[in-house]
Chains A and B, each alone.
Chain A
């Protein structure tokens, strides 16, 4: 089968074109680096079926990052390349086009976002561009599907010019001349979106905007998530699902192997969705009743942040602070994604340039960013003992994130170079695209998480039945009890945490822990090790050696943090004061210590300059 590769600069709409051509579902956002690996799909045309590959964005075929290498090597395998070009930024985009023209591969140019170019006062003489480039140029608006039929029709006319070898310097000169001949720019006034765009980059307005955005996002997820969760509990779980399960319990005879697996143990003769620990009781309740409401709201908020183009601006605002923990602003994107699920976050870390940065980002993310599934359970479980205990969990994780970053940045050789990123324009997210994205993510959660959640509960039941958990509880009692102040049985949650963190947190419920014990359990569970799904991706991204180093850091950090909390919380310092103290320390420490990366970068640049 012939291969068509979609190539182009980051954030020009390659994935939108791909999804329109093949009908495949792919993640699309308004920032550079959403696609980090290629996606395949099929396109049926009058001339037969093609395999279409959606490549990650690249500015040039001379790659400067891992993601760009993928794009460059895909072009080598292509039978036809569709070069997606952002019509609003012709000059920068045509640089890659001329590089593609030199490769021995037939080319078609999709002049995308032609509508936006019009709004921005950019006029392009398409016929002239076509004759100068010598390949078909098709104006498109991929999001609405405009021009895509013409694009497919033009594939038969794809040709390879194979000429004019250029080098970097005269390539720009050539592109400059080309653009001068085909493009006309009319001056026009700033739109309100552009005014807002600049305001969110200026520190005096940008920092308050960043704080407000994060605050509203947090409030929405917690507030709306809790609201939906309670509504589902009242109307679905306590409404009719419980009655349904009780009759099943009766039918099974109230005990026995299958009853234990499906329903679990009855608490005072009835079903307790939190404590019964059966696949159909606690399993279904945790997945659909607790995690899903919070996750859905989180992805709704995230989708808006991604598609509006705000995230890279947030990166600019936090760049300064991130430097102090050995990262730069763009690493905020994997961190934000991590609150949804650590797996896509680990993949997004691929956009970071150096191995050092990826190591720090992946380690900090796995240790200190609990995924929404886990957070939902933590909020529900710890929150009922008072907001101050929930605050300690968040403050402790924030403190770990900062201090671990400070330490790794100092110990690890080298430095994290400062960033160079393109800031996309603000766009008003379309309701349709948002709904599609949300549906895709929720489906992903249901498909990927269900076997682990239900399997996790199944494993717990089997381990309890054969007595392994009780045995491990006795064996590890010195560590779990002595160090963390938790009952020996809590070791089971650490085992299950490797399968699913949300199930692990839920398993703290039947242990009947005090508020301080719950806080310690939640923090240790969040930090000690990634879940199986994240672990697999991390090994692939970081390599076995770096993952092993990272794992040692995680385990040591989690148990030290648990031990310190066990020493201080409520025994020496009350929860509210501890939370406040940790946050203040997390802010002051980096300010006092400064950034090692910065110092190393500036002195290195002085030497090479």
Chain B
């Protein structure tokens, strides 16, 4: 299932499939290591259009709401009865 960072749930993991937006925007994310094919885990998001924080490799990145809507992620399918969902 492909959703934006904003629609991902905290604790979910997935792979970035697309970064939509201008060249400058994707360059900035790219430099921070956020790019297509990268595996990430969402840590949290602040309600009411706050920033989304994610884990990439060994570091954490906070992405503001506007930018987070432009990052699409293929979320890992989790078994119905498995914990952590």
A interface, CB within 8 angstroms of B:
59-60, 62, 64, 88-89, 91-92, 95, 120, 122, 168, 172, 197-198, 201-203, 206, 312, 315-317, 319-320, 323, 328-329, 417-423, 425, 598, 601-602, 605, 608-609
Contact = CB atoms under 8 A, between A and B. Distances in A.
A203 B31 contact: no
A95 B31 contact: yes
B57 A92 contact: yes
Contacts of A420: 28-29, 32, 34, 61-64, 67
A423 B44 CA distance: 13
B66 A88 contact: no
Given A202-B10, A319-B46, A320-B46, A92 B32 contact: yes
A124 B59 CA distance: 17
A60 B31 contact: yes
B49 A320 contact: yes
A423 B49 contact: no
Nearest to B51: A319
Nearest to B35: A172
Closest 8 CB pairs of A and B: A418-B64, A59-B31, A418-B66, A92-B33, A423-B60, A202-B44, A601-B66, A320-B50
Contact of A605 (B28, B43, B66): B66
Contacts of B82: none
Contacts of A92: 32-33, 56-57, 59
B61 A608 contact: no
B58 interface: yes
A586 B18 CA distance: 39
A168 B33 CA distance: 11
Given A88-B58, A95-B33, A320-B49, 18 more contacts: A60-B27, A64-B27, A89-B33, A198-B43, A201-B60, A203-B46, A316-B51, A316-B53, A319-B51, A319-B64, A320-B48, A323-B64, A419-B67, A420-B64, A423-B53, A598-B66, A601-B66, A609-B21
B12 interface: no
Contacts of A60: 27, 31
A417 B67 contact: yes
B61 A605 contact: no
A185 to B, nearest CB: 8
Interface residues of B, number: 40
A423 B58 contact: no
B81 interface: no
A609 B25 CA distance: 11
Contacts of A59: 31-32
Interface in B18-44: 20-22, 24-25, 27-35, 43-44
A602 B4 CA distance: 14
24 contacts: A59-B31, A60-B31, A89-B33, A89-B59, A91-B33, A203-B47, A206-B44, A315-B62, A316-B53, A319-B62, A417-B64, A418-B64, A418-B65, A418-B68, A420-B32, A420-B61, A420-B62, A422-B32, A422-B60, A422-B61, A598-B49, A602-B69, A605-B21, A605-B70
B21 A419 contact: no
Contact of A201 (B28, B53, B56, B69): B53
A10 to B, nearest CB: 10
Most B-side CB within 10 Å, residue of A64, A120, A320? A320
Contact of B66 (A172, A312, A316, A602): A602
B47 A418 contact: no
B35 A423 contact: no
Contact of B59 (A64, A319, A320, A422): A422
Contact of A421 (B47, B58, B61): B61
Contacts of B35: 172
A206 B62 CA distance: 14
Contacts of B67: 417-420
Contacts of A598: 49, 65-66
Nearest to A317: B46
Contacts of B53: 201, 316, 423
Given A59-B31, A203-B44, A423 B20 contact: no
B51 A418 contact: yes
Nearest to A203: B46
Contacts of A425: 59-60
B64 A64 contact: no
A316 B58 CA distance: 19
Most A-side CB within 10 Å, residue of B28, B49, B64? B64
Contacts of B25: 417
A608 B31 contact: no
Contacts of A417: 25, 64, 66-67
Contacts of A602: 66, 69
A601 B45 CA distance: 19
A64 B46 contact: no
Given A198-B44, A202-B44, A420-B32, A328 B64 contact: yes
Contacts of B24: 64
